[in-house]
Structure 1
Amino acid sequence: MAKEHNLLIFILTIGVFGILTTEMGVIGILPLIADHFHISVSKAGLLVSLFALAVAISGPILPLLFSGINRKMVMLFVLGIFVLGNIISIFAANFTIVLIARTIPAFFHPVYCSLALTVAATSVSKEESPKAVSKVMLGVTAGMVLGIPISNYIASETSLEMAMLFFTIVNAMAFIATLLFVPSMPVKERVSYGTQLSVLKKSVTWLAIFTIIFIGSAISSVNSYIAVYLETITNISGKTLSLALLLLGLASLIGTLAGGKLLTKNALKTVISLPIVLGIVYLLSLLTGKSTGPMMITILLFGILFAIGHIVSQYWITSAAPDAPDFANGLFLSGGNLGITIGTAIGGLFISGMGTQYIVLGGLLFLILSLASILLSNYMYNPKKQLSSIEEKADLPT
């Protein structure tokens, strides 16, 4: 039984890795795509921005619509679309076809990812679910971190088509593994659309959504410009810069697993501590930013805490809406993408207004907001507080 569970988690991890590699890996080959189709790099960038927009739009909707269908069939359907889209991209005669072949699968990205997180969480006890989810999130992190350098290396050493073939192979491996080794997973207790949507009537859900957006913005306002920061403030480039970015990526993998263990051990303490600890590290970067050695340590902490931030966000929204896990995970993906958009924009404003060194101030602003929403949510919906209130009412004379 344990072996079957571990195999299921591994296949889900490979699946999300393939989908996230397809999404993020194209960033590493944008200049090559621009040259291949004789377009500007900014136009090639539509492959990234439209993909993210499709994810943000479909995040709350499609996981809800697919929530009552056999989970294995849904996984095969989505992975099949990604395989087909990548094959079309390999042989595409013009950029428009590539854009369409990437954007259509992007709408189904939240379906697979939210389902994978739900399956992982429900495959173990409630206490162990954060640890199981963190293993699947490892695939998300690996796709985001490793997708870019892998695709860039393959395209540089061989061709653009071979890089896209890599995306195809990873998704095809997940498809075949799912087909052969994942058992049929019919939905035993189907939750109606109305019941799932009703979680939006609860203020705790909206507080969780705002928390996700704030944490995502706090991370992205710094992470989106980390290479620029290291070049201009720390004054490193070339192989040293590549090493620093690799360190950030590897630290994120560590942080993903650490986040799951911390949430399993003490969830509330982990959630409250995140914005405080990350805020302290942001402030420290104002002191370490100009020195290569200390900044490398700061980068390590950034990577670990950024990854824990994603795990915390996923845990917080699913805890707020336990009766609609698929829908909650869809909200997590949409809120996270919205946070990336807002954080990147605010980080850019701080760079243009105050200078690159002060991008952490934008991050600190969002961390304060995230901590406020977490504390407010905990104050309003703490089970112990509610229990004591009930007991007090029971003790009142009638």
Structure 2
Amino acid sequence: MTNRANGTGRMPAGLIALTLGSFGIGLTEFVIAGLLPQVSRSLDVSEAAAGWLISGYALSVAAGAIVVTAATGGLPRKPVLVGLVALFVAGNLLSAVAAGYPMMLLGRVVAALCHGSFFGIGSLVARRMVPPERASRAVAVMFAGLTLANVLGVPFGALIGERWTWRATFWAITAIGVVALVAIAALVPGWAGAADRTHPAAATGLRGLRAQLHAFRSGQVWLTLAATALGYGGMFGAFSYIAYTFTHVTGFAAADVAWLLVVYGTGLVIGNLAGGRAADGDRDRTLIGSLAGLAVTLIAFGALAAYAAAAVVLVFLLGLFGFAGVPGMITRVTDYAGGVPLAASANVSASNVGNALGAWLGGLAISAGLGYTAPLYAGAALVLAALAVMAVSARRAAADRPVR
């Protein structure tokens, strides 16, 4: 028996609910960047300490994606998703009422614990609500909330924070979380979180942590995770220092950075949706093409960063190619892992590890005196490594006739 949506192209209401959840979680991740000066002054902490509200969140995402997903692997997925959004609401509520820095940091950590597992488990539920040939598109629709949050997060936080203080921003995100919780509870069908009997792990009756770990016996899972980490690392390593590139190399004013980031975010949104559609046609070719496009973009950006018009076009392409591979990477790793949630969450962890690696390498390049275009070339090197890994993986997959 199948309960998947029909092929009419109509978007299931449950998928819209998941998109709303991803939007709220994305806001929590990105909004803090525009609020750090306010938070630092209000809580009387240094800029470095305030920075831990970002880095502590990222580390908690990487750890929580694995730990929380493994701990809930044997439970029905819809109640787990509802519980994760409840955790998100609690974390942001703590941040909104924080009397001091320790409580604020705790709120960030609590909110982050749901992040990786929500996207990992949610992506599996999303693809169950549509026909198999639209799986990557369903994942892309869910992740559209995250990409929109990237575009709107910083200006959203800054606008509310400047008008009503930074606490109002976290109250607003808490409210969005409550709406998402109710929507997921009401609109996501219970059958979408049931075990997928078409996958090997389910067919053999493996459950819980044993099934989760069994999935990692596949070399294709590890190759996909490696390509994810390297590809993300290349894009975000370059993006971490893009404001310096714009102001010190291209010659834009600091005030221009905000709209340039919107251009980048627009590329993320379009790349995510286009990449999901393309991956449903030929997934591995889409992934190789997106990585190749990203590598070329980064190299061209490094060479042409001094030219304003080129910089605007290339930052858009950075977002476009950088996120075009995300839906396909997630469906690929979960297919080869037999559909277990831990693999999808591990993909989120891999991207966060890649982010940290890329930012570290970009910082090293700048510290070495190579200039503010150096992170672009360092990012290109990481993406070329990801392309090589993906090419090897695709060749092996073609020989082994992988699950689709």
TM beyond 0.5: yes
- Residue in structure 1 matching 2:244, options 215, 222, 228: 228
Q: Which of 35, 43, 58 matches 1:37?
A: 43
**Does 2:172 correspond to 1:157?**
no
1:273 matches 2:289 = yes
Identity %: 24
Report what 2:68 is aligned to.
62
Deviations 1:301-357 (A, max 9, x none): 112111214334323322332x13411111111000000000000011112221112
The structure with the larger Rg is 1
Q: Which moved more, 1:215-224 or 1:233-242?
A: 233-242
CA deviations on 1:238-283 (whole Å, 9 max, x unpaired) are 4432221111111211111111111122212111112222222222
* Counterparts of 2:382 and 2:301, CA distance in 1: 17
Distance 1:371 1:181 in 2: 39
Amino acid at match of 1:173: V
Match for residue 103 of structure 1?
Answer: 109
Aligned-pair CA distance for 1:36: 0.3
Greater CA drift, 174-183 or 130-139: 174-183
Q: Secondary structure of 1:45's match? A: helix
Q: Structure 2: which amino acid aligns with 1:160?
A: W
Give the secondary structure class of the aligned counterpart of 2:130: coil
Structure 1 residue 109, shift from structure 2 partner: 1.9
1:377 aligns with 2:384: no
Aligned positions of 1:53-202 closer than 5 A = 53-185=59-191, 187-188=194-195, 191-192=206-207, 193-202=209-218
Q: Superposition pairs for residues 226-375 of structure 1, below 5 Å?
A: 226-321=242-337, 323-353=338-368, 354-375=370-391
1:5 CA displacement: 5.1
What is the RMSD computed on CA atoms of the aligned residues? Answer: 1.9
Q: Distance in 2 between matches of 1:141 and 1:362?
A: 24
Per-residue Cα deviation, 1:194-230 (whole angstroms, up to 9, x for no partner): 1221122222221112111111111112111111110
Aligned-partner residue type, residue 37 of structure 1: L
Partner AA of 2:95 in structure 1: S
- 1:25 corresponds to which residue? 31
TM-aligned CA distance change 1:254 to 1:94, over 3 Å:
same
Task: Describe the shift of the 1:115–1:250 C-alpha distance in structure 2 as closer, same or farther (beyond 3 A).
Answer: same
> What amino acid is the match of 1:114?
G
AA aligned opposite 2:133? E
Q: Which moved more, 1:104-113 or 1:159-168?
A: 104-113
Number of matched residues? 384
Q: Is the 8 A contact 1:69 1:187 kept in 2?
A: no
Which residue identity is paired with 2:342?
F
* Larger CA deviation: 66-75 vs 87-96: 66-75
Report the equivalent of 2:199: none
- State the shift of 1:65 in Å: 2.4
Q: How far does residue 362 in structure 1 lie from its aligned partner after superposition? A: 0.7
Task: Give the letter aligned to residue 225 of structure 2.
Answer: I
Report the CA distance between 1:287 and its aligned residue: 3.5
Deviations 1:158-217 (A, max 9, x none): 211211111111101101212333333463466412122112222222111211111111
Distance in 1 between the 2:167 and 2:67 partners?
33
CA spacing shift, 1:46–1:7, aligned 2, 3 Å:
same
Cα offsets for 1:38-75 (capped at 9, x unmatched)? 11111011111111111111222321322332322212
- In structure 2, the CA distance between the partners of 1:296 and 1:188, relative to structure 1 (3 Å rule), is closer
CA shift, 1:4, in A, is 8.5
Cα distance in 1 for partners of 2:336, 2:179 equals: 34
* Structure 2: stretches of 5+ with no match in the other structure: 197-201
Assess if the C-alpha contact under 8 Å between 1:318 and 1:325 holds in 2: yes
- Quick one: distance in 1 between partners of 2:63 and 2:98? 26
Contact 2:220 2:333 in 1 (8 A): no
Paired with 1:10 and 1:375, the residues of 2 have a C-alpha distance of: 34
Shift of 1:6: 2.1
Structure 2: how far apart are the matches of 1:241 and 1:5?
A: 35
Letter matched to residue 215 of structure 1: G
1:182 and 1:380, CA in 2 relative to 1: closer, same or farther beyond 3 A?
closer
The letter for the 2-side match of 1:204 is Q
- More displaced, 103-112 or 122-131? 103-112
Distance in 2 of aligned mates of 1:320 and 1:227: 38
Structure 2 residue matching 1:59: 3-state secondary structure: helix
